[in-house]
Amino acid sequence: MRDAARVAEVIVSGDDEANRAMVSGVECRLCGGPACARVPMGSTASLVAPDYVPVVYRCPTCRSQFLYPPAPPGWLERFFSASVPRTDAQRAQLEDPRSRARYRSLGAARARWLAGRVRGGRVLDIGCGPGYLLAAFREMGWQTLGIDPNPLFVEFAGRELSVEVLPGSWQGVGKLVADGSVDLLTILHLLHMVEDPQAFLRSAIRKLRPGGFLFVELGNEVDNWRRTLWGTARRLRGRGETPLHYALPKQTYPTSRGLAALVRRAGVRPLYLGGYFPPVLTRTYARPTVAERFVAAREALLSRCGRGSVLVMLGRYRV
């Protein structure tokens, strides 16, 4: 792997020939497709280290995008392990009563949808945050276990929701949970942040029993309706494509095709792949406002044509 300093040097110099040579033979992190091309206007500022200046590349096979080179190993755990909320959404999950009610309702809707399709009684949630999904499964009689590096989430889950969350690294899940011990593995809004999605996923799914299920959820940033609409407007005006909002801690920006290829390479057969599923959208809010009802209806419609804000995948592990 070329170091970050050399990549930054090529970007600054504008040496396209050197730039193409540096990524020659680099595979897509999701589908393994070769010959990834640099995305115009694809550079991004760093939240990792002053000398990390990544470039964005697109896979011509699955159209997913990713930062190159990867962030330094271990940076994700260091970023999220501080005893402070790292984003406004994280802070709201802990402090805002209305947001807490919404996330709890969202967790319950996810759990009901999954329980209707998955047999078994033990669920592991990697990167579980405050533990709302685990709390919903526990209320349905499942055995639950979560892993998260943030001490605030670990303490909140035990105190407020009475669910067990182990403080630990996502990369160290192999030392915390026995192989073949869970029926359902859930990974929500995490897979696109890890440095090596393929290695992370292969390690994580070893915790599943033969025939167990994997559920993944993450942002649909490449094909969502906003980018599609703005991109069409820009092309009509002759201004080219609309660049994504590239910002760490995200490392990879998957498409549905890229996500499907990733899980298949890890030995998981997708059973459901699409946008947000309707039960989650219609049961997210206890007392929805008119605006919230409109957002839910819009997402339900757009998700059916692959333009929703979120990608979800439920698959079965094949040994």
Q: Give the burial class of 163: count Cβ atoms within 10 A of its Cβ; 0-12 exposed, 13-18 middle, 19 or more buried.
A: buried
Across residues 107-115, what is the average pLDDT?
89
98-112, 144-158, 169-183, 185-199: range with lowest mean pLDDT: 169-183
Is a pLDDT exceeding 60 seen at residue 263?
yes
Residues 269 and 139 in one domain: yes
Are residues 9 and 140 part of one domain?
A: no
The answer to whether residues 151 and 274 belong to one domain is yes
Write down which residue in 49, 76, 103 finishes a domain: 76
Q: Provide mean pLDDT across the span 83-88.
A: 74
Per-residue model confidence as pLDDT tens digits over 161-214: 999 999 987 767 777 888 999 999 999 999 998 888 999 999 999 999 999 999
Q: Give the range of the structural domain holding residue 101, as residue numbers without chain letter.
A: 84-220+255-317
Q: Is 313:270 a contact under the CB 8 Å cutoff?
A: yes
Residues 203, 259: one domain? yes
Contacts of 206 (CB under 8 A, 6+ apart): 174, 179, 180
Q: Which two tokens stand for residue 268?
A: 């998981």
Look at 116 and 234; give whichever has higher pLDDT.
116
pLDDT at 77: 75
Residue 167 located in a structural domain? yes
What CATH code is carried by the domain that includes residue 154?
Answer: 3.40.50.150
Task: Check residue 285 and report its DSSP letter.
Answer: -
> What is the per-residue pLDDT for 105?
85
Verify that 216 and 273 share a domain, yes or no: yes
Q: What is the DSSP pairing of strand 208-219 with strand 182-188?
A: parallel
From CA 281, how far away is CA 97, in angstroms rounded? 20
pLDDT by residue (tens digit) across 280-318?
A: 554 555 566 777 777 777 777 777 766 778 889 999 998
pLDDT at residue 8 in the model = 36
The more confidently predicted of residues 313 and 48 is 313
Residue 86 pLDDT > 90, yes or no? Answer: no
Structural contact between residues 128 and 80, judged by C-beta atoms closer than 8 angstroms: no
Residue 225 forms part of a structural domain:
no
Q: Which residue has the higher pLDDT, 292 or 88?
A: 88
The more confident residue out of 237 and 138 is: 138
Q: Give the separation between CA 14 and CA 33, rounded to whole angstroms.
A: 25
Q: In the listed set 45, 76, 107, which residue is the last one of a domain according to the structure?
A: 76
Instruction: Please tell me whether the overall predicted TM-score, pTM, comes out greater than 0.75 for this model.
Output: yes
Report the alpha-carbon angle 192-197-203, nearest 5. 130
**H-state helical runs in 116-243:** 132-139, 151-156, 173-176, 197-205, 225-236
How far apart CA 317 and CA 306 sit, in angstroms, is: 24
Sheet with 182-188, edge to edge strand ranges: 165-167, 143-148, 122-126, 182-188, 208-219, 310-317, 268-274
Cis peptide preceding 151, ω within 30 of 0: no
Residue 234 counted as domain residue:
no
Same-domain check for residues 158 and 136: yes
The pLDDT value given to residue 288: 66
Are 53 and 91 members of one domain? no
Query: Are 160 and 185 part of one and the same domain?
Result: yes
Which is more confident, 195 or 136? Answer: 136
* Same domain membership, residue 270 and residue 132: yes
Q: Is the pLDDT higher at 23 or at 181?
A: 181
177 and 210 together in one domain: yes
Whether 90 and 64 map to the same domain: the answer is no
* Cross-strand partners of 311: 218
Q: Do 113 and 63 belong to one domain?
A: no
Look at residue 247 and tell me if it is in a domain.
no
Question: 18, 52, 76: which is the final residue of a domain?
Answer: 76
Question: What is the number of domains present in the chain?
Answer: 2
Tell whether 41 is covered by a domain.
yes
